[in-house]
């Protein structure tokens, strides 16, 4: 054994989910940020680690209650994660004894609150509609791709297809090719949505760096924005995803997303697991 090597300590974490969109959450407000690409990949492995769609790290606030950083299970960074933001905000509200919090992400300052019905809402900010900022190397409303999709940014890029029946789409077969299409220099999330009724959508998603997930908060926001821009819905939309239902309200101050949250368990990564990285 290398006596000069500092002993590795256990790493505490929480497992949360919003509509089955699941997260490992590490509270690093009291120490250094322990997450590296290798750690994210190892913890994200559903067979040899814990498994998650995204990993969220809670850091000290920047004139806000806290900061959030996000990682994908392939070890890449994620600029935004709406359902994780709602889940962590709900937990932080409990810690602080409040029904509203502010937080810092790559998008800047966001605000979250708990409604009287117990559901948690977060303002994900204004949608990004400029090509260079999404980023995408074409007109976001007229992408040169079969199926006539729309590109929208919500702190991460999204490519939204409106189809007759989202249930019938081969998401696993189509999603990876669109994710890596050269039009998207930072890759993209891919959504497939169909209109159920006025202001009611069914959506399925292929997430950049994660694959098929049961829900994608930022993707649901992007889909609702795209549906309104295409004249399919109003600005307030109910969206059914594989894991349940989200409510999206595109207001003057940003895109608000509302839905349930769940804290499943708390646990620790062992020193042996950490040493094997």
Structural domains of the chain in order of their starting residue, each with its CATH number = 11-123+261-275 (3.10.310.10), 131-259 (3.10.310.10)
CA distances from 216 to 9, 36, 84, 138, 253 (A): 33, 23, 9, 24, 21
What does pTM read for this prediction?
A: 0.92
SS (H, E, C) the chain: CCCCCCCCCCEEEEEEEECCEEEEEEECCCCCCCCCHHHHHHHHCCCCCCCCCEEEEEECCCCCCEEEEEEECCCCEECCCHHHHHHHHHHHHHHHCCCEEEEEECCEEEEEEECCCCCEEEECCCCECCHHHCCCCCCCCCCCCCCCCEEEECCCEEEEEECCCHHHCCHHHHHHHHHCCCCCCCCCEEEEEEEEECCEEEEEEEECCCEECCCCHHHHHHHHHHHHHCCCCCCEEEEEECCEEEEEEEECCEEEEEECCEEEEEEEECHHHHHCC
How many CB atoms sit inside 10 A of residue 11's CB? 18
pLDDT value, residue 2: 38
Residue 51: C-alpha distances to residues 44, 85, 202, 216, 237 (Å): 4, 18, 26, 16, 31
Both tokens assigned to 212:
């098929």
Confidence tier at 7 by pLDDT (50, 70, 90): very low
**Position 1 confidence tier, pLDDT thresholds 50, 70, 90:** very low
CA torsion through residues 21, 22, 28, 29, sign: positive
Question: How many Å apart are CA 70 and CA 25, to the nearest integer?
Answer: 9
Residue with tokens 């002993």: 7
Per-residue pLDDT band for 3 (boundaries 50, 70, 90) equals: very low
| Confidence at residue 31, expressed as pLDDT on a 0 to 100 scale | 85
217-246 pLDDT, tens digit each: 999 999 999 999 999 999 999 999 999 999
CB 148 within 8 A of CB 241: no
More confident residue, 2 or 20: 20
CA distances from 214 to 46, 68, 243 (A): 15, 22, 5
Per-residue pLDDT tens over the stretch 18-59: 999 999 999 999 988 999 999 999 999 999 999 999 999 999
Q: Point out the residues that are catalytic.
A: 81, 216
Contact 87, 25 (CB under 8 A): yes
């Amino acid at each position: 054994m290398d006596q000069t090597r500092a002993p590795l300590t256990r790493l505490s974490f929480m497992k949360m989910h919003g509509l089955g969109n699941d997260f490992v959450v590490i509270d690093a407000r009291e120490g250094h940020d322990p997450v590296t690409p290798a750690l994210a990949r190892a913890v994200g492995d559903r067979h040899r680690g814990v498994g998650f769609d995204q990993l969220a790290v809670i850091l000290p606030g920047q004139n806000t209650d806290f900061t959030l950083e996000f990682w994908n299970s392939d070890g890449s960074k994620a600029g935004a994660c709406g359902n994780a933001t709602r889940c962590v905000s709900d937990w932080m509200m409990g810690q602080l004894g409040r029904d509203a919090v502010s937080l810092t992400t790559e998008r800047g300052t966001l605000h979250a609150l708990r409604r009287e019905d117990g559901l948690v809402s977060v303002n994900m900010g204004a949608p990004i509609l400029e090509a260079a900022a999404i980023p995408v190397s074409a007109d976001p409303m007229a992408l040169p791709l079969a199926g006539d999709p729309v590109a929208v940014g919500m702190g991460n890029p999204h490519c939204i297809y409106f189809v007759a029946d989202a249930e019938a789409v081969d998401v696993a077969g189509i999603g990876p090719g669109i994710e890596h299409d050269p039009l998207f220099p930072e890759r993209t999330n891919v959504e497939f949505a169909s209109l159920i009724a006025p202001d009611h959508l069914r959506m399925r998603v292929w997430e950049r760096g994660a694959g098929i997930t049961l829900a994608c908060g930022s993707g649901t926001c992007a889909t609702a924005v795209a549906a309104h821009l295409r004249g399919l819905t109003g600005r307030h939309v109910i969206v059914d995803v594989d894991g349940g239902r989200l409510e999206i309200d595109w207001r003057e101050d940003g895109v608000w997303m509302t839905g349930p949250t769940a804290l499943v368990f708390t646990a620790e990564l062992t020193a042996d697991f950490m040493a094997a990285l």
